[in-house]
Structures are given as C-alpha cells and as structure tokens.
Chains A and B, each alone.
Chain A
Amino acid sequence: AQSVTQPDIHITVSEGASLELRCNYSYGATPYLFWYVQSPGQGLQLLLKYFSGDTLVQGIKGFEAEFKRSQSSFNLRKPSVHWSDAAEYFCAVAPGGYQKVTFGTGTKLQVIP
C-alpha cells in the first residue's frame, strides 16, 4: 500500500523568501504524484502533478516540484513567496490513473511580512 509523509506540520516564511515543502512517499513503483493547495474554507486546488518524464514539474502560481526517485521525494518549491500563498498544502500519491489516492497530512504555510 502506498503512503505519504509530510514531515512539516507548520512552516513560517517571510514574504519574498524562498519556500520548500517536503513530501516523501512509499510505493513500489513510480507513482502518480500531486500537490494541492487549500485556502481557508475552500476546497482543494491542484498545483501540479507528475506522471512520468521530466522530473522537474512546473505548476500554477509559480510553484514547481522535483521528483527524486532515489529519495522517494516530491518536494514543492517556490522562489519567492507572496502573502497570498498562505494556505495548507497537501501532497498526494496514486498508483496510477483512476486508482486509490493517498494524501499526506498537510503542511500549513504562514507568510509573515
């Protein structure tokens, strides 16, 4: 069975600083990997996804993520954080299309001026 670990429950960064949110997964083969963002009181919005190919994936809102098979990681990055990026971020894994999905427990991002 697959699993996802987001080791950081809460992260605080200054506006304009760079950001990296960690995600480690456990699965026997290369899974489908996703990052979502949830603003307070809202549903989830897909930021980016990785299925295969180039291991550096570009997403919306200036986010990117890098798949590292050797480390079983799929960390989310942004070079310069904006106050509007304050939200909760979830990493997710699935064995393939139309399959069971497992989410991490989330990382809450706080952005300070």
Chain B
Amino acid sequence: EAQVTQNPRYLITVTGKKLTVTCSQNMNHEYMSWYRQDPGLGLRQIYYSMNVEVTDKGDVPEGYKVSRKEKRNFPLILESPSPNQTSLYFCASSFGQGPEAFFGQGTRLTVV
C-alpha cells in the first residue's frame, strides 16, 4: 500500500531535549516536505527536499533541521525544542509536477 509513515504519532517532551520525527515513503517519490499546522494559521511549510541531498527552507525553518540521505526518508530534527514548537506536524511526498498528494497521518508534538 502506498503511504507516508510518520513516527511517533504523539510526543510530549521537555524544552531543550533533542528529538527526531521520522518520515518514510514507499512510493519512490522525489519530493518530500514537512509542514506544521497551527489553529488559524493553516499549514506552513518548514523544509522541503527535491531529491536526495537536496533540501531547502520553507516559510518557517527556524529551530528545525532536516536531512535527505535516502530517497525514502526525510526526518525532521528539533535540536533544542521550545514550547512555541508545540504543533501538529505533517510530512508529505510527491512525484512529478508539484507537491501533490500523499500526506502522513501527522505527529502531535507538545513541548513543555
């Protein structure tokens, strides 16, 4: 089954404790990206990757890192999480013309 898998689905952590949210897709898609969703703000793109070893900043990259060492994986790293990074995070992937189609189920992160 074609899918984008994020882990974990829920995470509560403390300020400053490094964490990684994993994202994996099984469709051989070139394009992957991370979004955060906050009430009233819609989705905002954090980082995107056009292919292996090619990443670029979205609209809200501060406080986040990504890597794309393999085509299928695109982890999101928070080196020193802060409470303002409490949010719902989505990973997405696509192939071809644009950021279309496949979203993960989301990761709800709470930083206390």
Chain A positions near chain B (C-beta within 8 angstroms): 6, 9, 32, 34, 42-46, 49, 51, 90, 92, 94, 96-106
Q: Which residue of B lies closest to A90 (CB)?
A: B42
Residues of A within 8 A of B101 (CB): 46
Select which of B35, B40, B50, B100 is within 8 A of A49 by beta carbon: B100
Q: Mark B83-105, 1 if CB is under 8 A from A, else 0.
A: 00000001010001111110111
Main secondary structure of the interface of A (DSSP, over half): loop
Chain B positions near chain A (C-beta within 8 angstroms): 30-31, 33, 35, 40-45, 48, 50, 56, 58-59, 90, 92, 96-101, 103-106
Select which of A42, A45, A96 is within 8 A of B98 by beta carbon: A96
Q: Which residue of B lies closest to A52 (CB)?
A: B97
* Bound CA span A32–B31, Å: 15
Contact B42 A104 (CB under 8 A): yes
Contact B98 A105 (CB under 8 A): no
Contact B106 A103 (CB under 8 A): no
* Bound CA span A106–B35, Å: 14
Contact A43 B50 (CB under 8 A): no
CB of B40, distance to nearest CB on chain A (Å): 6
